[in-house]
Amino acid sequence: MIKNTVTKNIDITSKKQKNFLRITILIVFIIYVISIVNLDLKLNLGLEYFLKAVDIMFRMIHFDLSEWNDVISAALTSLSVAVLATIISAVFAFFMSFIAASNVSNSFVSKVCKGVAAWIRAVPTIIWTLIFVAYLGLGPFPGVLGLSLHSFAYLLKAFSQSIEEVKKENIEALRATGASWVLVMTKAILPSIVTSLISWIALRFEINVAESSILGFVGAGGIGHEVSSNMRGFQFEKAGFVVLVVFLMSFGIEMIFHRFKLNVDKNQFK
């Protein structure tokens, strides 16, 4: 009977990799310590803060539904902001994406468009909304503008990347027949990316619904204002109900679009 030889554990990690891992862990730990010192966190009060947080959470789950009509109205306002922002940004991003895509546009123009979009994306939506609130005043309109601007930059990148993934052979085949630029876009590009565009728009709408709930904290109206005012007034039972509505709204829309995207993907591969 031949016994199988049992090999010892072989360490395939090189010394260089081990040193790199140790240095990385050390750097992360140093940054962690610096962050604690910079924030002046009092770790000895951690248990006290934790108990306070648990008490607040316990109060929040005892929902107060006395102002349910105002909460639902605010939720519809936030949803309307998300819908408008998604439609506006998707329309502008769709047309601009053909200019931003490097395979169908001038290289310099493509880089400029992508650079501007990257700069817009680098600034959070809530900051753009604050800027518009400062100029236009309180209300949902600044929220629509701020959310639309950031969504436009997000979708522009997504759409242009989808266009750039189209096979060059399809584009060159139409160009060889003398087809115009518009004909190439509508016959070679658009049919190849339509399902991808729908998926990106659905994903961005889910994000916009979540972000529209936050914009009320900076004066853009909607359900975020309800959360903010109730928390500032220590009305945690009412705030808990508002948070529940936000969760149900976001989760429900995510489930709807998840089912929608599954149907889109299923039809795509038929």
pLDDT in the model for residue 1: 46
Q: How far apart are the first and last CA of the chain?
A: 56
Confidence class for position 44, pLDDT limits 50, 70, 90: low
pLDDT in the model for residue 153: 93
pLDDT at position 152 over 90: yes
Average confidence (pLDDT) over 72-95: 90
Confidence class for position 265, pLDDT limits 50, 70, 90: low
Domains present along the chain, CATH in parentheses: 68-268 (1.10.3720.10)
| Residue 195, φ and ψ in degrees, nearest 5 | -70, -35
Is the separation of the CB atoms in 226 and 74 below 8 Å? yes
Nearest 5°: CA angle at 189, between 185 and 191? 115
Neighbours of 22 (CB within 10 A): 10
What token pair was written down for 161?
Answer: 């990347």
Of the candidate ranges 2-16, 58-72, 110-124, the one whose mean pLDDT is the lowest = 2-16
pLDDT at position 4 over 60: no
- CA dist., res. 193 & res. 166, Å (int): 8
The residue among 153, 157, 131 whose CA lies nearest residue 218 is: 131
